[in-house]
A and B are shown apart, each in its own frame.
Chain A
Amino acid sequence: MDQSTRRKFLATCLGAIAAAGGGATLYPVYKYLAPGKGDEGLAKTTFPESEVPAGGAKFFSFRGEAGVVIRNKSGKLVAFSAVCTHLGCIVQWEKEKQDFLCPCHAGRYSMDGVVIAGPPPRPLPKLAVKVANGIITIG
């Protein structure tokens, strides 16, 4: 084996060992830093029905995000993601006007989550909501 081939072979081996070592160091660090899935990935959120007054709203945490459930005038419960589709601020429920306002850039959504004014590009995503024995289950 001539000198340059041997040098090339050793350099390749050294490079491979260094790459393996780098990988073995970086992988645990990446896993350590990566956001944990936790238990909330598939979790459902529950709370008593009495916490949502007629015409009012209740905000809650759902799968790591903010959600809101409102009771419309006919008494029906509707739940949405509370994250504004414009730049991610949390919308506020305006009880008098019966609509959602995003205070960041004055985006406005109807009580059905449809955009009625301002910059939001999409309606608020709906969340599944069930009521049984006085308990509201989201998800």
Chain B
Amino acid sequence: MIFVKRIYEWIEVRLGVKELVEKNLTGYLLPRNINFWYSMGSIILFIFAVQVVTGMLLLIYYVPDADKAYSSVTAIMNRVPFGWLIRTCHAIGSSMMVLFLLLHMLSVMFMGSYKRPRELNWLSGFILFSLVQVICLTGYLLPWSQLSFWATTVATNSIGAIPLVGQFIVEFLRGGKLVGPPTLGRFFTLHVAVIPVLIASVVGVHLFLLERIGVSKPPFGLDNTKNRWQGDAFRYDEHTGGIPFFPNYILQDMTSIAIYFSLFAAVVFFCPGIFFPNDAFIQANPFQTPAHIKPEWYFLANYQTLKLFPNEFIGLSIQGAAMTFLALLPFIDWGNEKHPLKRPLFMVCAIGGILLYIGLSIWGHYS
């Protein structure tokens, strides 16, 4: 014990650990009425870490070559010890990441946490959400199954509806006129090198903003639910008399992660095939389009929107407009009120939007 104490003292005089711990953990105060929804970010960070680790493990056996990719994934699933577990965790983890990002965004929306001065937190979060969708899309092609191949064909094809430059972008993305071996190389590089670095960087920015501006106060259980930002100068959003992040809120974070992990493990062990339709078990054949090819669940609403409009460009424009509206939400919703029940217009729009998204997804699934 004396030896450990000496090492601690050696580090302490060099780095001032005590001060760091007090500033960032025990002295980092959060609002007393903080709730479970504030731990969504920690759950997403945990999922991202699991995705990085399982992704690295998959790289050991995966071969990014159109002739060998499918057989290498089959070998991971059937021959490599616990390969099925690593791959299933990675595949299901990607869906979980999108799901929990949506929940995180919804909780931020309903609690009005995106309101000034936290516009940049929302924007960086929105960029993260978009990057996660891109990393999911690029990863989807890598197993080189019929599902991967044709879902990528459909997804990349829709970009071709953009006037003038659409076809050029599609060919540039694919590395040719059609999805083929050059597409695999491009998507592989994006999936394992480019986008993870971008995501890690934007996560850094997101956390920096959280630390710099301070945690927002939830509007529940308060008499005054108005935004208390004054807008004249920068002020750290202090919560005097609040609860410390460590050990109090970290316990909530750990509890939420444990609950998430139970849900995740239940899917991995009891419904591992939930995200794998039959076409995921057939090698890609560029000359045979399977019937009823569908994208992943989180792209079903986009897929159905494209199908609803006879002109693909209109469908794409509507989606672009919806995404832009969502990205710029803090600049559009200027009101000071944060409590969702005191924001009727917001509630109507938000619930309508959620129902529309779910409805389009279900319609897309059964269409």
Q: Which residues of B contact A28 (CB under 8 A)?
A: 81-82, 85-86
Closest to B61 in A: A32
Q: Which residues of A contact B82 (CB under 8 A)?
A: 28-29, 31-32
Bound-state CA distance A115–B175 (Å) is 56
B interface, by DSSP: helix, strand, loop or mixed?
helix
**Most B CB atoms within 10 A — which of A28, A32, A33, A36?**
A32
Bound-state CA distance A34–B80 (Å) is 10
**Most B CB atoms within 10 A — which of A28, A33, A34?**
A28
Q: For the complex, is B52 an interface residue (Cβ under 8 Å from A)?
A: no
Closest to A27 in B: B82
Bound-state CA distance A36–B80 (Å) is 8
Residues B85 and A33 in contact, CB atoms below 8 Å apart? no
Interface 1/0s, chain B 59-88, versus A by CB < 8 A? Answer: 010000000000000000000111101100
Bound-state CA distance A71–B91 (Å) is 54
Q: Which residues of A contact B362 (CB under 8 A)?
A: none
Q: Which residues of A contact B57 (CB under 8 A)?
A: 29, 32-33
Q: Which residues of B contact A31 (CB under 8 A)?
A: 81-82
Q: Which residues of A contact B60 (CB under 8 A)?
A: 32-33
Q: Which residues of B contact A32 (CB under 8 A)?
A: 57, 60, 80-83, 85-86
Whole-angstrom distance between the Cβ of A132 and the nearest chain B Cβ: 33
- CB within 8 Å of B: which A30-54 residues: 31-34, 36
Would you list 5 pairs from A and B whose C-beta atoms are within 8 A, ordered by A residue?
A29-B86, A31-B81, A31-B82, A32-B85, A36-B81
Binding site for A on B (CB under 8 A): 57, 60, 80-83, 85-86
Binding site for B on A (CB under 8 A): 28-29, 31-34, 36
In the complex, besides A28-B82, A32-B57, 18 extra interface pairs with C-beta distance below 8 angstroms are A28-B81, A28-B85, A28-B86, A29-B57, A29-B82, A29-B86, A31-B81, A31-B82, A32-B60, A32-B80, A32-B81, A32-B82, A32-B83, A32-B85, A32-B86, A33-B60, A34-B81, A36-B81
